[in-house]
Structure 1
Amino acid sequence: MTAELRALEANSTWTLEPLPPGKKPIGCKWVFKTKLQADGSIERYKARLVVLAVAATKNWIIHQLDVNNAFLHGDLDEEVYMTPPPGFHSSQADHSLFTLTTSTSIVLVLVYVDDILVAGNDLSQIEIFKRILSTHFKTKDLGSLKYFLGLEVARSSTGIFLNQRKYALDILSDSGQLGARTALFPMEQHLKLTAQDGDLLPDPGLYRRLVGRLIYLTITRPDIVYAVNTLSQFMHAPQVPHMTAAIRVLRYIKGCPGQGIFFPSSNSTHVSAYTDFDWASCPTTRRSTTGYFIQLGTSPLSWRTKKQSTVSRSSAEAEYRAMAVTTCELTWLK
């Protein structure tokens, strides 16, 4: 608690003042949380994949930083302006990404609230950045990237491997499925779930929490994207068959909890995409489903399954809509 207060005071977050007449102070309390390492050991008390794919291909250095405390505020009535960090330019495609490019070096800084990734080809430039940042904020240098936002990172001379094994096992444990029989695939091929499939679940919160966690697991698991997309369409009123289908996804995950994605170091930066559609696949709305998978060389980069926004009156129309969505994603990535 003392460390948190010292960090707040060092950043001049607030000043201690007598309560003005007619004002009511809001209460507060301490919230304690244990942050764990990938192996379950205690780290201390208290995601974008594109950068990693490029870093693996270019054999860049990747370090990780953590700000001791971060501040999330509600809506502001005032306009607030802030200059970007000196020398760094914010990406127009992703405003949490900052780049510093010289004739001989490049440094990328990716900020996710209070977690920071620093990648580049020049270790001295990375160390200079970390040193300057530490003079303005209380930061903790976590060294080479190993565990980031629930993603386990393993690096060797052949590339970078990402997985969410601990996160997947936590989902299985919390759902009581650690001892369940495994399934070879996440969803029956011709399964058509609807909003009128059966009895409502007595506690819909269990289903919503489970599907929400599965959505986060799709960061490194393209193989469950279609199944999770289907399950997420029934969050408002989940029924027994929907939960049965969700349990099957868990049984599939149990068979391969450590499965993830691999970014090889011997790779090209050529971007390629695959897209397909399922015409009028939704039995309720008759809207088609778009799916795409994009690679940087042989590194998986971006994947998605999403119901199309309108009803396509022919399979050709659905196909063009799928290609249009994929083209938009390609343009953004480029």
Structure 2
Amino acid sequence: MCDLGPVTYFLGIEVTRMESGLFLNQRKYVLEILKEYGMLGAQPSTFPMEQHHRLTADSGTPLNDPSRYRQLVGRLMTITRPKLCYPVHILSQFMPDPRQDNWDAAMRVLRYLKQSPGHGIFLRPNSLELEVYCDSDWVSCPMTRRSITRYFVTLGGCPISWKTKKQSTVSCSSAELA
């Protein structure tokens, strides 16, 4: 086995060493996705999803090629950015039968990525203090009436894990959440 030196690119993630820590991003991957979907010249968006979106299973006309939507959402799932967790969670609900409104929402996520393709995670050599934040809402999914649970974990102030998940059962009151 031979030493290849400091890592600069690993599993699609660019690694930049600095005195104050490591910066990890997927700029190249994001730009590939933007190019593939013709969004390099698109107007950037400040937010990945409308605040009060009303996407439903029957919103808009069915897509001619649903596999393209599924492929895009699958690629969005692999981008390591906590801010995409909720929008991708919403978009993934429509994988079986994607509609035009769902496609438009996915394009908005791409426009958000266009605004900052090089954003990433900065890992500092701080203390190894583990922090976990968790939140649940009540009956937020208009289609299933199920609640959504989210968590965000940091180690030394650096994000290491996050997730948004629809709960498996319907809660009849806010006391039943989590």
**What is the TM-score of this pair, normalised by structure 2?**
0.97
Rounded Cα–Cα distance in structure 1 between residues aligned with 2:103 and 2:71: 12
Amino acid at match of 1:298: G
Deviations 1:271-321 (A, max 9, x none): 111111221111111000111111112111110011011111112221xx1
> What is residue 226 of structure 1 aligned with on the other side?
86
- Cα distance in structure 1, aligned partners of 2:63 and 2:4: 44
Q: Pick from 182, 205, 224: which aligns with 2:67?
A: 205
Displacement after TM superposition at 1:144 (Å): 1.2
Distance in structure 2 (CA, Å) of the matches to 1:141 and 1:229: 40
1:91-240 equivalences under 5 Å are 134=1, 141-217=3-79, 219=80, 221-240=81-100
Secondary structure of the 1:143 match is coil
One of 105, 113, 129 as aligned partner of 1:270? 129
Q: Distance between the aligned counterparts of 2:162 and 2:172, measured in 1?
A: 25
Q: For the residues of structure 2 that align with 1:290 and 1:249, how far apart are their CA atoms?
A: 21
1:154 and 1:306 map into 2 onto residues whose CA distance is 31
Pairwise CA distance, 1:141 = 4.4
Query: Residue 194 of structure 1: CA displacement?
Result: 1.2
| TM-score, reference length from structure 1 | 0.52
CA contact (8 A) 2:124 2:156 kept: no
Tell me the residue number matched to 1:258. Answer: 118
Counterpart Cα distance in 2 of 1:227 and 1:238 = 15
Equivalent residue in structure 2 for 1:306, among 142, 165, 170: 165
For 2:66 and 2:171, how far apart are their aligned partners in 1? 32
Q: d(CA) in 2 for partners of 1:143 and 1:288? A: 47
2:93 counterpart SS class: helix
What code does the residue aligned with 1:288 have? S
Q: Aligned equivalents of 2:18 and 2:46: distance in 1?
A: 30
* Partner in structure 1 of residue 106 of structure 2: 246
Q: Gaps spanning 5+ residues in structure 1: where?
A: 1-133, 135-139, 322-334
Q: 8 Å contact 2:148–2:164 — kept in the other structure?
A: yes
Local SS of the residue matching 1:237: coil
**Could you say if the C-alpha distance between residues 277 and 192 of structure 1 is closer, same or farther in structure 2, counting changes exceeding 3 Å?**
farther
3-state DSSP class of the match of 1:234?
A: coil
In 1, Cα distance between equivalents of 2:45 and 2:74 = 21
Q: Deviations over 1:2-41 (max 9, x none)?
A: xxxxxxxxxxxxxxxxxxxxxxxxxxxxxxxxxxxxxxxx
Find the structure with the greater CA-based Rg.
1
Q: Does 1:285 align with 2:118?
A: no
- SS of residue matched to 2:4: strand
Amino acid aligned to 1:149: L
- Post-superposition offset of 1:152: 0.4
Structure with greater contact order relative to length (CA < 8 Å, sep ≥ 6): 2
1:176-205: CA deviations, max 9, x gaps?
000000111000111121111121100001
Q: Aligned equivalents of 2:114 and 2:163: distance in 1?
A: 23
Provide the C-alpha distance between the structure 2 equivalents of 1:169 and 1:316, rounded to a whole number of angstroms.
44
